[in-house]
Structure 1
Amino acid sequence: MTNEVKTRKPVVKKKFLVEVAWETCNQVGGIYTVIRTKVPSMVEKWGDDYALLGPYFPQTAAAEFEALPVGEDTPMERAILWMREQGYQVHYGNWLITGKPKIILFDIASIYDQINAIKGRIWENHKISTLGVEELVNQTIALGELIRLFIGKWAQENQNKKDLIVHFHEWMASTCLPDLKKEKVKISTVFTTHATMLGRYLAGNVPNFYDVIDTFDWYKEAVNYGIEAQASFERQAAQKADVLTTVSDITAKECQYFLGRIPELILPNGLNIQRFAALHEHQNLHSKYKQNLSEFVMGHFFQSQAFDLDQTLYLFTSGRFEYSNKGYDLTLDALALLNQKMKEIGSKKTVVMFFVTKQPYHSIDPEVLHSRAVLDEIRENCSAIEKEVGEKLFLAAASSNNLQLPDLNNFVDEYWRLRLRRTVQTWKSTSRPKVVTHLLKQEDDIIRNLHRTNLLNNPEDKVKIVYHPDFIVSTNPLFGLDYSQFVRGCHLGVFPSYYEPWGYTPLECMARGVPTVTSDLSGFGDYIMQIMRDYEQWGVSVVNRKSQTYQESVEQLANNLFKFTQQSQRERITQRNRVESISDTFDWSNLRSYYDTAHELALMKKRNKA
């Protein structure tokens, strides 16, 4: 009889992942896109062992939040009930997006009366000065305290049964991280900075920022720009977290010099590509929405400058109004050079360049609205004439023995002739088409650049400018499109950023089958250069801003745009197909593994310390 040795399988402890972000169910900027689009992939992996934390704002929660009842079945639910017993307003439910994850939202007003005491404790524990800070910083501190209490109670209720991993995004969601670490709460922590506070300020104000990044005193610069508290919270979170991550190699340098720690991992951003996928329809959608843009262009330009729409290309750039950081300066100077090149060869093409950003304005320019309204009236007149002529032509053709086409003018009533003539007469103008669609409250750098380069929609210009200082939504009376439809209608997206920790706009173009321009100083551009050698063949152009002078980058972009204008329609269709086909590379199902590694590394570090 043989003796069998029974070996026990090691007990694998279950894990629970919590992601904390100011933009959970709260659309403010790019991090909302990161969090929201990543959710389906995270739910696929974690199932019910996944939740998100964030602030409660009634206006956004009304559209995206669905409340759930709270029982006592789980440590998380017991922590929620305990928070409510303490008098704090905690909302538990589903986030109404793909994947429907569980979310806990904290009403910061329910703890705001304690803000001074909380700030005092933060000073005592961590020497972070929060005197005289802006209201937003106070709000993040209040949210942090609620999260500190909640996570602490949750970990206590958990009794070490599951490994709790808490992933903090940006300083705004991480003001409690140093306290959680000081109190030795039994969690593993990951902190991701998507863009450092100092990096954004310095890049927009210091020439050749990247060349001198190692010379800055982070504290001195934080005080100089009035962001001492924000930069201090960010630095403490970066140093206290078990694992520090960021979104690109470019931002990793900022972490090294401004946060005092080199990130363990880079977490490239992705999209839920399926949400954008149109399969074979993306070409049809391009044609459909291009027609909307053409109608706007007719209304805006054809009053005084008519050109061949079949020979017209629609280019655009969009994002926050950061004139240098977003590369608006480079784009404008390259367009001026492109205009010159196209005129020199007598190009038959026309380029209409849309600048879509947010700037203070009084209203849409009444003249721009009026022009569009009159064009609509011309269309109505033409439709009436078309219907009248069609019916009379049909009767004439059916009853006639003459096989010749009759004179169609005879079929138009004098009323409609006169009405159309008068409408067109009142519409036509000799004035130059407006460069900006709205009445700005004050002249800005885009306007000043256009005047300097004389890129003002002159009749001889091959490059026309439309500056739209507001975000595009479906209720917009000028386009009648939402932003995604507007993008699909364009031929090329142009984003040669100087400071762009990641850069979603070129990736969103790719997902919609629109070729794009980025730069090697954007996280996206840097990443695509690492993973693809022949990216230009797939509809992605990367402007070199690392090793070239500004003027050399201008010339490179202008040459790239000039080359694009010389492509045939067949070449552009092929390029749209190619760029759409590689967008799957950036689906979260492929990029989630970077996050998985970060979470496993945090657990490993925590266990090693234990």
Structure 2
Amino acid sequence: MMKQLLTPDYIFESSWEVCNKVGGIYTVLSTRAKTLQNTFPDRIFFIGPDFWSGKENPLFVEDSKLLQAWREHAIKKDDLKVRVGRWNIPGKPIAILVDFTPFYKDKNEIYTQAWIDFQVDSLHAYGDYDEASMFSYAAGKVVESFYRYNLTMSDKVIYQAHEWMTGLGALYLQKHVPEIATIFTTHATTIGRSIAGNNKPLYDYLFAYNGDQMSRELNVESKHSIEKQTAHHVDCFTTVSDITNNECKELLDKEADVVLMNGFEDDFVPKGEEFEKKRKYARALLLNLANKLLGTHLGDDTLIVGTSGRYEFKNKGINVYLEALNRLTRKKSLNREVVAFVNVPGWVGDAREDLKQRLESNDDYNTPLECPFITHWLHNMSHDQVLDMLKYLNMSNSPESKVKVIFVPCYLDGNDGILNETYYDLIIGADLSVYPSYYEPWGYTPLESVAFKVPAITTDLAGFGLWVNSLKGHPGTLEDGVKVIHRTDYNYSEVADVIRDTITEFAKLPESEVQIIRKNAADIAEKALWKHFIRYYYEAYDVALRNAKERCKSYKQK
């Protein structure tokens, strides 16, 4: 018989990325919000940092009537600087933004208490630790205030905290409002990311690493400490993939209670005729850009390949992507022209005026522009990893080469000065995408790609790649729509060869087979919609509520 899951009456979620678009967690929260808002209408509250006081935040629509009585109480009686409104995303959930700066004056006392109560070591804090911790503490105080003013012991309440940045608030509530059930989600361990980012082998030696010792060696002691202590003390500890769960076991000495895989909504993907129209437009735009930059006459038969994401050169596999493209230039059996894009925001300066002028004219050009690899000037042209590697590989983008590489080093928000279209309006024009990650807890970029029927190449070191393997019952193939390459600490060269060979193979396929692969890619994306993955959250709510109940019982007995 199925166990009856306990369901919360109210849910609070805090994250640095609520109404603040900085990374992948924004995508997790903002796409899932509609599903939860439908199930818990206006009983889910997202709490984020308020950087925007007095400035326009397009993601937050303030509403002075919403929760008015509590908000006035929180400001006057609890000394909290909060603004209430709606997050401007599908579902329009309630968002509470808190100004955490007033807590800086009490920072030392807050850290001392966290050490006394939970052995959180803040002694070695630096960088963004104070800012994140003061926000986290403020978020905890906001939920405490709301709970005391509006709710009672009979209400089942969940507080879900995302990443180390919100751990302090979860621990504060654990102590001060023990009736609230706490969930902590780590999307990537601080130590795992640091080991990978410092060019140390992560996977072969994972069993041998000691998280506490490595945190000292890599100078991330305080972040590791709050992450580890929160994981051990909350009612339900979660992470986003099996691969990150392995890290949690080894580096935090704590296995996740539930794995919350990252779903998404496909409401940004056009349908039917609109899809075809947008794809045609995006292809024409990308090819025109290539021709004007390179002085070429590439036609619609050109294979458009791309990678994108954060500028983590090794972790995201940008290095192995460029290596594969270089090897592709020497592949005699490649039968089509290839334009490969690197859509990764760098330290971008100005849009190139010379390129702009060419794009504005209807003339054909037979000569490339100076530095025909890049669409925008960078502040660090002579020390950029992508440009450095292209130079090292002696890539030329010459007319004779079948493979051309173009680096678009800016956020594709529709206002970059060159392409002036959003990322989603451009990705639809690609034929194939490549995300050969070395460190990738989940991997939204390949998931978004296949949602637009663009087949993707990824690795089994990405949570998404592992999930595709489990879905298919075998390592994902090109025919499946997602090619999943086996990647280890040491097989960089083999991975580059597999990417090279997969692009070559794809370039030869007849259109009828390409259409089947595109449909298979979209089918995989459909299986990752939130309507399928939300059940893992309901499991986590149940675990947290049951454990909180036990915890409160034992408090009373004491």
Secondary structure of 1:324's counterpart equals coil
1:286 to 2:286 alignment = no
Query: Is 1:300 aligned with 2:293?
Result: yes
Map of 1:211-250 to 2, 5 A cutoff? 211-250=204-243
* AA matched with 2:238: T
2:340 corresponds in structure 1 to: 353
Could you tell me which of 318, 324, 327 is aligned with 2:314?
324
Deviates more, 1:80-89 or 1:493-502: 80-89
Once structures 1 and 2 are overlaid, which stretch shifts more, 117-126 or 322-331?
A: 117-126
What is aligned with 1:447? 387
Alignment match, 1:436: 374
1:64 pairs with 2:64: no
For 1:159 and 1:511, how far apart are their aligned partners in 2? 43
Mapping for residues 238-277 of structure 1, pairs under 5 Å: 238-277=231-270
Q: Following superposition of structure 1 onto structure 2, how do residues 121-200 of structure 1 map, counting pairs within 5 Å?
A: 121-131=113-123, 133-157=125-149, 158-183=151-176, 185-200=178-193
Counterpart of 1:517 in structure 2: which amino acid?
I
How many Å apart are 1:112 and its aligned residue? 2.8
Return the alpha-carbon distance in structure 2 between the equivalents of residues 234 and 566 of structure 1: 48
Is 1:314 matched up with 2:256? no
Matched, 1:48 2:75: no
Query: 2:327 is matched with which residue?
Result: 337
Contact 1:282 1:513 in 2 (8 A): no
Alpha carbons 2:80, 2:142 under 8 Å: kept: no
Structure 2 match to 1:418:
none
1:411 maps to which residue?
Answer: none
Q: Please give the alpha-carbon distance, in whole angstroms, between the structure 1 residues aligned to 2:463 and 2:167.
A: 23
Among 18, 21, 25, the residue aligned to 2:19? 25
Q: Which of 9, 15, 23 is the equivalent residue of 2:9?
A: 15
Aligned length: 542
Given the two structures, how large is their TM-score scaled by the length of structure 2?
0.91
1:464, distance to aligned residue in structure 2 (A): 0.5
Task: Give the drift of 1:30.
Answer: 0.5
Matching of residues 1-12 of structure 1 within 5 Å:
none
Partner residue, 1:409: none
Alpha carbons of 1:483 and 1:155: their partners in 2 closer, same or farther (altered >3 Å)?
A: same
SS of match in other structure, 2:192: helix
2:422 is equivalent to residue 482 of structure 1: yes
Per-residue deviation, residues 418-475 of structure 1 (Å, max 9, x unmatched): xxxxxx6xx5437776123333313233223222322221332111111122222312
More helix by share: 1
1:168-224 Cα deviation digits (max 9, x unpaired): 111112212223223452111111110111111101224431010122222222223
Match of 1:572 among 495, 514, 518: 514
Preserved contact between residue 434 and residue 457 of structure 1 (Cα < 8 Å)? yes
CA contact (8 A) 1:301 1:433 kept: no
Preserved contact between residue 8 and residue 541 of structure 2 (Cα < 8 Å): no
Deviation larger for 269-278 or 127-136: 127-136
2-side partners of 1:279 and 1:34: how far apart? Answer: 26
How far apart, CA to CA, are the structure 1 residues paired with 2:548 and 2:113?
26
> What is the Cα deviation at residue 584 of structure 1?
1.7
Report percent identity of matched pairs.
28
Counterparts of 1:232 and 1:141, CA distance in 2:
12
Q: Does the Cα contact within 8 Å between 1:320 and 1:326 map onto a contact in 2?
A: yes
Aligned to 1:459: 399
Three-state SS of the structure 2 residue aligned to 1:353 is strand
Checking the alignment, whether the CA contact within 8 Å between 2:195 and 2:201 is kept in structure 1 is no
Q: Which residue number corresponds to residue 466 of structure 2?
A: 526
1:357 partner letter: V
Deviations 1:246-294 (A, max 9, x none): 1111000111122121111111101111232424532332112111111
- Structure 1: gaps spanning 5 or more residues: 1-9, 380-423
Instruction: Specify the code of the residue in structure 1 equivalent to 2:104.
Output: Y
Output the amino acid matched with 1:228: E
Secondary structure in 2 aligned to 1:122? helix
Query: 1:300 deviation in Å?
Result: 1.0
The aligned counterpart of 1:545 is 487
Could you say which residue in structure 2 is the equivalent of 1:93?
85
2:542 aligns with 600
Cα shift readout 1:230-258 (whole Å, capped 9, x = no counterpart): 11111111111111111111000111122
Q: CA RMSD in A?
A: 2.5
CA–CA separation in structure 1 for the residues paired with 2:7 and 2:249 = 34
The structure-2 alpha-carbon separation of the partners of 1:67 and 1:84, relative to structure 1 and needing over 3 Å to count, comes to farther
Structure 1 residues 444, 260: closer, same or farther in 2, change over 3 A? same
8 Å CA contact 1:178–1:240 kept in 2: the answer is yes
Report what 1:511 is aligned to: 451
Distance in 2, Cα, partners of 1:432 & 1:213: 46
What secondary structure does 2:357 align onto? helix
Tell me, which stretches of 5 or more residues in structure 2 are unaligned? Answer: 554-558
CA distance in 2, matches of 1:121, 1:262: 26
**Separation of aligned partners in 1, 2:72 and 2:193:** 36
User: Secondary structure of 2:457's partner?
Assistant: strand
Change (3 A) 1:243 1:588: same
* CA offsets 1:461-508 (integer angstroms, 9 cap, x no match): 111111122222312232232111110111111101000000100011
Say yes or no: does 1:499 pair with 2:439.
yes
**Which one-letter code corresponds to 1:370 in the other structure?**
D
Is contact 1:13-1:162 (8 Å) kept?
no
Deviates more, 1:183-192 or 1:586-595: 183-192
